[in-house]
Amino acid sequence: MKNFLLLSTGIAASIGFSPIAVAQEAKPSEQREIVVTGQSLSDTEKALFDCLARGCPPEEDIRLTLAHAENQFVAGDYRDSRSTLRQSLGRNKKYGDELPVPVSRLYRANSRISAHQGEAKDFQLSVLDMRDTLAGGLGKEDPRTLAAEVEVGDSRAKLGYPDEAERIYKRTEERALELGNARVATYAKLRQILLNQARLESPSSPSSYKIELEKNVIEGLTQISQSPLEGADEFTLVADVLLARFARKNGDETQTEALLKRFAESSGATRPILIKSEPMPILSNNETEIKERGVLNTSDYQITRNSVGKWADIGFWVNVDGQVEDIEILRAEGAANWLKPVAENISKRIYAPLKRGGIDPVPGFYMIERYSLTANKTTQTTGTRLSQREPILRIERLDITPDDYQRPEGI
């Protein structure tokens, strides 16, 4: 099982999306069951029910809960998936000191589902509870707690508080350095750099501010690339990818070409490594128009509410050259017009060239990604305690590719 609901917010995912051929017209195929866990929805439901009926240990309860919640999510039952997780938290959060890692996984999974539903408050609180559970059971200086602190920063950035996120990243980097944890320190530093890259791309940032920001971004990435902290060498490739992306925005493709050549001349990649991508487009309330402005008119609220809740699974091949082929919508809930710019975005990605020849050559990877059209709930638009969807539609993405990267049977 991939346990995609448990994956931490990764640097690679934050780099963005990117790729190459012209996307084919997006048309949802006929409904078919795609089970990432390898067990049917009825099987995971029965396993969890039987577990609870016999009073199974909390760790088993949590493991079966997560398997069933994932299946519900894949089936498009977001509300039921979140309900499954919340019920399990009601049963098991008291075991946080005894089982901090399993319980934290419940909170992390709930945060993922909440984000796809636009439940901003639950998303925020679940990430905090995840961090606090690890801190209480493992201690604040444990590497897993420090990494969870970075996730808290990610949540603040995602909810529109970049300055607060930056303070969290800096604090975590400093603490990790004090404890000699180079990996977490470098991870937190990269998150700060990504924030600054986003500020550089913001049209509202003054030019004088961007000059200094650009200098800091390049210096930070160059340091990670050329002089990594001992024990954090794995992040040099991430820094190189970000530097190449930065150069492309200034019209320089040479660093991207050098990265591709590096993999082509070596043994090649044995897993998908995204080299070139573009940011996912922001959709307007009419689903197909790309928004250049940041807000929608108040008259758009009803259309926004009607748009929320759509989702789709998009499958595609990454060939040996790292190019994307055969993009197709495997399943879609609701009208699929909003998926056309998503498919076009995926088509422009470029991955590292794959391993050819020798022992265990890699013929390609089949990827499946879940996209959800949502908008956060807030009380700010109503002036009361009643929550309402924000008038800004956004797209949530989650990689639900099976572990073996093989095209699921029947697709």
Number of structural domains in the chain: 1
CA distances from 404 to 255, 265, 362, 401 (A): 31, 25, 11, 8
pLDDT band at residue 282 using 50, 70 and 90 as cut-offs:
low
φ, ψ of residue 326 to 5 degrees: the values are 50, 50
- pLDDT at position 101 over 90: yes
| Residue 110, token pair as written in the block | 């709930």
pLDDT of residue 298: 44
**Whether the predicted model's global pTM rises above the 0.85 cut:** no
φ, ψ of residue 164 to 5 degrees: the values are -65, -40
Cβ(95)–Cβ(109) below 8 Å: no
Domain membership of residue 23 (yes or no) is yes
If you average pLDDT over residues 96-109, what whole number do you get?
A: 97
> Which residue has 């991939």 as its token pair?
2
If you average pLDDT over residues 317-338, what whole number do you get?
A: 89
Q: For residue 274, what is the enclosing H or E element?
A: strand 274-276
Domain membership of residue 388 (yes or no) is yes
Domain membership of residue 360 (yes or no) is yes
Domain membership of residue 26 (yes or no) is yes
| Bridge partners for 365 per DSSP | 318
Mean pLDDT, the chain, whole residue set: 82
Domain membership of residue 188 (yes or no) is no
- pLDDT at position 84 over 50: yes
Range of the domain at 340: 1-33+271-411
**pLDDT tens digits along 129-186:** 999 999 999 999 999 999 999 999 999 999 989 999 999 999 999 999 999 999 999 9
How far apart are the C-alpha atoms of 314 and 411, rounded to whole Å? 11
pLDDT of residue 380: 56
Cβ(63)–Cβ(70) below 8 Å: no
If you average pLDDT over residues 186-192, what whole number do you get?
A: 95
Domain membership of residue 389 (yes or no) is yes
Domain membership of residue 324 (yes or no) is yes
- pLDDT at position 353 over 80: yes
The listed range with the strongest mean pLDDT (139-153, 290-304, 342-356, 357-371) is: 139-153
For strands 377-378 and 388-389, give the pairing.
antiparallel
pLDDT of residue 356: 75
- pLDDT at position 320 over 90: no
pLDDT of residue 212: 85
Residue 405 region by backbone torsions, left for phi larger than 0, else alpha for psi between -120 and 50, else beta? left
Cβ(145)–Cβ(139) below 8 Å: yes
Q: Which of 29-33, 41-45, 195-199, 296-300 has the lowest mean pLDDT?
A: 29-33
How far apart are the C-alpha atoms of 213 and 246, rounded to whole Å? 12
Where are the alpha helices (H) located in 118-206, listed in sequence order?
120-138, 143-158, 162-178, 182-201
How far apart are the C-alpha atoms of 325 and 346, rounded to whole Å? 10
Domain membership of residue 60 (yes or no) is no
Its sign, for the CA torsion 337, 339, 345, 350, is: negative
pLDDT band at residue 335 using 50, 70 and 90 as cut-offs:
confident
Specify the higher pLDDT residue, 402 or 294: 402
| Residue 28, token pair as written in the block | 């949802």
Of 28, 26, 44, the closest CA to residue 36 belongs to 44
Indicate the residue type of 141.
E
pLDDT band at residue 207 using 50, 70 and 90 as cut-offs:
confident
Q: For residue 224, what is the enclosing H or E element?
A: helix 207-226
| Bridge partners for 377 per DSSP | 389
